[in-house]
Amino acid sequence: MFLTFEIFSLFILYRYNNYQKASFLNYTESVTSSFYSAVKSTTGYFNLRSFNDSLQADNARLRTQLIQSYYQNGIISKSVRDTLYKQQFEYISSQVVNNSVVKRNNYLTLDKGYEHGIRERMGVICANGVVGIVTQVTPHFSLVQSLLHGKNITNAKLKKTGDIGSVTWDGSNQLFANLNDINMHVPVSVGDEIITSNFSPVYPEGVQIGKVVMVNRKAENNFYDIKILLNTPFSKLKYVYIIKNLFKEERENTELKSITDPQK
């Protein structure tokens, strides 16, 4: 009885008094907005996975269309279109499902494999720079030898001068690597950018590797001792791109013939 009279009294209060009626409507509108906002945030969170997958696929498609992904064959013709540039690199988006950064030889596991077109010796990059090279492939997964691996050697060059060198990791710190084989006659300074060179059939030329943070002269030879800060945040890697060089097999076969038959 009491609850019935109480509800009836509140109904009369809010029904026939403009101030109380307006206050009640404002309150219920605020509660409803908060509820719908919470629902939208929750559904948006659970949709992030599909959104990120779609975004990665779009990024891979756009990278494939970059001018760096094409090979210039030097033929210019007015009668035939698209003869100056031919597709050389394709990109396949993938997600990191396992990763190590504290070992002497580090690896990553990706959620793409043989059934997705992945093969051994394909390069792997991220939005920031070089990641590593595919070493093993199963139908649904790939194992990547990280740049943070004692046996990984990445062909590189100084962006400012174009001088060729190689990047290796000494196992001491995941943030830094060494740039080797740069002669002391080359002008090198802190802040110089290091990128991939066209000597590598694995990566396109111009992919970021890092920046010079220390330059020392070696007394025993004519090369610098250079330390670089890596662009790739290896401990935070989640999404990467696997690179397919459409001319890689042809190039490697050509170079192999020159080694096995030096007279030709």
- What is the reported pTM? 0.68
Over the chain, what is the mean pLDDT?
Answer: 80
Q: What is the pLDDT of residue 14?
A: 62
Residues 100 and 211 in one domain: yes
Residues 120 and 25 in one domain: no
Q: What is the pLDDT of residue 12?
A: 73
C-alpha distances in Å from residue 121, one per residue of 2, 12, 135, 142, 192: 80, 79, 6, 11, 29
C-alpha distances in Å from residue 152, one per residue of 39, 79, 104, 106: 48, 46, 11, 10
Residue 89 has phi, psi (to 5 degrees) of -120, 140
Tally of domains in the chain:
2
Residues 147 and 226 in one domain: yes
Residues 25 and 111 in one domain: no
CATH number at residue 153: 2.40.10.340
Residues 162 and 235 in one domain: yes
Q: What is the pLDDT of residue 3?
A: 84
CB neighbours (10 Å) of residue 28?
Answer: 10
Q: Is residue 66 part of a domain?
A: no
Nearest to 61 by CA among 84, 83, 89: 89
Model confidence over 71-108: pLDDT tens digits?
444 433 333 344 456 678 889 999 999 999 999 999 99
Q: Is residue 82 part of a domain?
A: no
Residues 253 and 144 in one domain: yes
Residue 181 token pair: 């084989």
Q: Is residue 7 part of a domain?
A: yes
Residues 34 and 100 in one domain: no
Average pLDDT of the segment spanning 237-258 = 85
Q: What is the pLDDT of residue 88?
A: 84
Residues 28 and 118 in one domain: no
Q: What is the pLDDT of residue 164?
A: 95
Q: Is residue 56 part of a domain?
A: no
Q: What is the pLDDT of residue 158?
A: 96
Residues 24 and 140 in one domain: no
Q: What is the pLDDT of residue 85?
A: 62
Domain membership of residue 10 as a residue range: 2-46
Instruction: Decide which of 129 and 77 is more confident.
Output: 129
Residues 19 and 101 in one domain: no
